[in-house]
A = this chain, B = another copy of it.
Amino acid sequence: MRVEDLILVSVDDHVVEPPDLFEGRLSTKHAEAAPRLVRKDDGTDVWSFLGAELPNIGLNAVAGRPKEEYAMDPQSFDDMRPGAYDIDLRIKEMDANGVLGSMCFPSFPQFTGQLFARTAERDADLALALVQAYNDWHIDGWCGKHPGRFIPLAIPPLWDPRLIAAELERVAEKGCHAMTFSENVSELGHPSIHDADGYWDPMFATAEELGTVLCCHIGSSSKIVMTAPDSPMDVLITLSPINIVQAAADIVWSPAMKKFPNLRFALSEGGIGWVPYFRERIDATYDKHRFWTHQDMGERLPSQVFDEQVVLCYIEDTSGLKNLADMNEDMVCWECDYPHADSTWPTSPEHFMKEIEAAGGLTDAQIDKISHGNAMRMFDYDPFSVIPREECTVGALRAKAGDWDVSIKARGITASGTGAADLAKLSGTARD
């Protein structure tokens, strides 16, 4: 497989919501209360909402800037590459990077719409209207503008599993088969996925029936892994993906997996290098301890539950690729993470291929699965019905991009933060 012939679909990118997001998508009453973008005297952009300012317009959207400027968060639209928020320019950025398809996670509403779940405590009507308007914008206004280029990803009305079920059905009719969920919903103040009364069953049942994947992005528990108040940032950055192993354990041992054996979760940005170890550990746990924990997985081993129900996602992970035989290669999907700091943009195809070589090589069939085939199957995404296959390759897309400027540009912003407390402050409401 040559780099030019790759077809790349990323199951984890991020959209920084543009100011006109809610325009024309809300009733007059709700439109008045909707978040509005405000440029402040100091040049920063904030979302103004219900009397509060949400400073975090674009968490970590630092692609295309020198590494010295990887502060945690841009404070205005001027701090970002326009591809972060402009759909037509996003396509250019994708073309230049040879990326055909993309699934985009939200920014200011937080990964699983925590902002609107908090809104629901004050005004549930408004909250639901905002969630639906957001999803309509995302599906029709963002993904819909360039057919075949995006995997739509809805956010849930997280405060009510029956409303989520209804929203899952509503967006599925628009072709959306992915919804964000939390890596640990109990950290957000809701019942856990172990709930003995099946609190989340309406959502699980509908997601299973529709074939919709629940995508749990790292950080979606709104909890930062702080080992100590004075841990350096490097500790937090190191740990943020591996922390998803807690979500993996929750999922495998959740009673929901037995009730809904076709339900699927994705561990977005979770990496794959820890998976062989984890699969071994869950089976050993079952083998040694089930007699007194009274665990009964039925016909399956825990590793089978994991293999069948958990979509694995990685940006860069040579150790995982090297051990592909010890996980389900039909569930491994590649991610670009544009425009965040861990993205390989604008040389993703080269990174992708270099890693596979470093891992000792994969067959073309395996490469096709990981680069796009698994994502197409998992998310019911069929770009080739819209765009001829030969126009979907890295080579074809880059040719289309022409001389689109992908050079690294300084924007004059550096971070002063050096510890976990600074990160918590910098990230503000986006992670609280």
Binding site for B on A (CB under 8 A): 66-71, 184, 186, 192-196, 225, 227-235, 237-239, 241-242, 245-247, 249-250, 252-253, 271, 273-274, 276-282, 284-286, 288-295, 316-320, 322-323, 326, 341-342, 414-415, 418
Contacts and interface: CB of A to CB of B under 8 A. Distances in A.
Nearest to A67: B291
Contacts of A225: 246
Shortest beta-carbon contacts, A-B, top 6: A273-B277, A192-B228, A186-B228, A276-B319, A67-B291, A68-B291
A317 to B, nearest CB: 7
A250 B232 CA distance: 9
- Can you tell how many copies of this chain the complex includes? 2
B246 A232 contact: no
B293 A237 contact: yes
Nearest to A273: B277
A245 B249 contact: no
Given A68-B292, A194-B228, 18 more contacts: A70-B288, A186-B227, A192-B230, A194-B235, A195-B230, A227-B250, A234-B253, A234-B286, A235-B250, A235-B253, A237-B289, A238-B249, A238-B282, A242-B277, A271-B277, A273-B274, A274-B274, A294-B418
Contact of A196 (B195, B230, B289, B317): B230
Contact of A229 (B186, B326, B414): B186
Contacts of A281: 238, 241-242, 271, 273
Contacts of A253: 231-232, 234-235, 238
Contact of A273 (B193, B231, B276, B294): B276
A88 B57 CA distance: 67
A250 B194 CA distance: 31
Contact of A70 (B238, B289, B414): B289
